[in-house]
Structure formats: structure tokens, C-alpha cells
Amino acid sequence: MDPAALRSEFPALHQEVHGRPLVYLDSASTTLKPRAVIDAVVQVMARDAGNVHRGVHALSEAATAAFDAARREVAGFVGAPPDEIVFTRGTTESINLVAQTLGRARVGPGDAVLVTELEHHSNLVPWQMLCRERGAQLRVLPIDESGQLRLDLLPTLLGERTRLVALSHASNVLGTVNPVAQVARLAHERGALVLVDGAQAVAHLPVDVKALDCDFYAFSAHKMYGPTGVGVLYGCEALLETMPPWQGGGDMVLEVRWEGT
């Protein structure tokens, strides 16, 4: 795309920084928003300004239809059925959701969670917190001098009590693309679940969560030209059904009384 067309598509590029035309090279952190995304957000705020799933008036129904259509679109983008897509506020919240629900239910004293030496803090700190709380061990799969995972050490680190493996699809520092399907196969053979931080990969690589054979896949809209404050958690439906609620509120209950919900 030529510079003029690029500036037309991405309004933020019209500005100057320190008296020079903006050249943006920080997309690994967050992407600029194309005009189509900006226009879509404005339309929702200006026209479909109803509460999703909470009203029966025309604006609420329009907002709900758009919301459900977005879920189907995202599901198709990663090769999942819509019922396995959970909207969150970002990759970090998606990972914390799994750690604080499924993690608390499945990880106990003497168990282990395995991460890799490539992990972003968002896919490390939640597991550190969980292991500290539950009396579990955090194990780390190292990388070699070229930035690749030491897969030869994986069978040793995958003990019988390893409950979950958390790894990035692509590193935000080195750009290493991890062999997720291979790791998932080995983890599942040992009875461990697999969560993938896909924040850096999903905008650049074709993602099929079923082919990757992961149990969870997390990513953020703002790293793939979408709005800030929107995240996605893919989760296998059978596992999602077993996870206790992390946060309580409306649109999730059948009956509410003072004595209980």
C-alpha cells in the first residue's frame, strides 16, 4: 500500500511527531486502528446504543445482533464454534479467568504448572500467583541459544502431576513461533491441559484452534487492528462448562433471592 493510501486508511498517520510525519513501528504493542474499525465503533455508539442481551427495544436488539455476529466472526477466524468464544477485556484477563477458575479447581498442593522461558508477564504472573496460593510448583521450559524451546527437556518437565501447560504461540520479544500442536500432543499424553497466549500470533499467522489441539487460546483485539479493551478466550466447551463463575452479575442467573442465587 502506498503512503497516501495508508494514511487514508489509518487516520492516526496524519499527525506529526516532533515536526516529522508519523512512522509507526510499535504494532507488537498495539496496532493503529483503520478507518473501518473507527467507523464501526462510532456507529455502535451513535446508532446501536442499546444494552446487549438486556433489553427488548429496537436499539438493544440491534446491539445484540451485532454483538452475536461479532462472536460468530471471531469464532470462524480461529476455527471454533461460537459457543466456545468468551469475550473479555484482553489477553491478560482471559488468562487470569482460566487461572482463577479452572486453575483453582484443578491445581493443588504438589501439582505443577509448566510455562516457558519465552512468556510475556501476562502468561507468567497469573500462574505464579496460582501456584503460590495453591501450594503448587511452577516449572519453566528453557530456550536454547537460538531462542527455540528445549523440547528435548519437555518429557522430563511434564511430570504426572503437571496440570496445565501455558505457552505463547509467538514470542513478543524474539518472534519465535512455538510448535504448539507438538507441545499440546505431549501435554495431553501426560494428562495436562494447554493454554496458548496468542496475542502476538493471531494477527500474523493462520490460527485453527482445533488443529493446534489447545484447550484454551487467548488474544486481544487491540493487537489486530481492533478496539482497545476487547479480548477473546477460546475454550473447549466441555471445559468451559466445568469452570465456576469468576465474577457474578446480571444475565447469568435463573433466580435471585436474598438467601442465594
> What pLDDT shows up at residue 144?
97
**Residue 235 pLDDT:** 98
- Cα gap 110→102, rounded to integer Å: 17
Q: Which of 22, 58, 67, 13 is nearest to 40 (CA)?
A: 67
The model's confidence at residue 224, banded by pLDDT at 50, 70 and 90, is very high
pLDDT in tens, 176-204: 999 999 999 999 999 999 999 999 999 99
The pLDDT tens digits of the residues spanning 125-152 come to 999 999 999 999 999 999 999 999 999 9
- Secondary structure (H, E, C), the chain: CCHHHHHHHCHHHHCEECCEECCCCCCCCCCCCCHHHHHHHHHHHHCCCCCCCCCCCHHHHHHHHHHHHHHHHHHHHHCCCHHHEEEECCHHHHHHHHHHHHHHHHCCCCCEEEEECCCCHHHCHHHHHHHHHHCCEEEEECECCCCCECHHHHHHHCCCCEEEEEEECECCCCCCECCHHHHHHHHHHCCCEEEEECCCCCCCCCCCHHHHCCCEEEEEHHHCCCCCCCEEEEECHHHHCCCCCCCCCCCCCCCCECCEC
Whether the pLDDT of residue 54 is over 80: the answer is: no
Q: What pLDDT, on a 0 to 100 scale, did the predictor assign at position 51? A: 85
With 80 as the cut, is the pLDDT of residue 250 above it? no
**4-47 tens-digit pLDDT:** 777 788 988 888 899 998 889 998 899 999 999 999 999 888 88
* pLDDT surpassing 80 at residue 3: no
Q: What is the pLDDT of residue 78?
A: 98
* Mean of pLDDT over the chain: 93
Higher-confidence residue of 252 and 64: namely 64
Q: pLDDT per residue over 59-97, tens digit each?
A: 888 889 989 999 999 999 999 999 999 999 999 999 999
Strand partners, 217: 196, 234
Q: Please report which confidence band the pLDDT of residue 243 belongs to, taking 50, 70 and 90 as the band edges.
A: very high
Q: Residue 113's pLDDT is what? A: 98
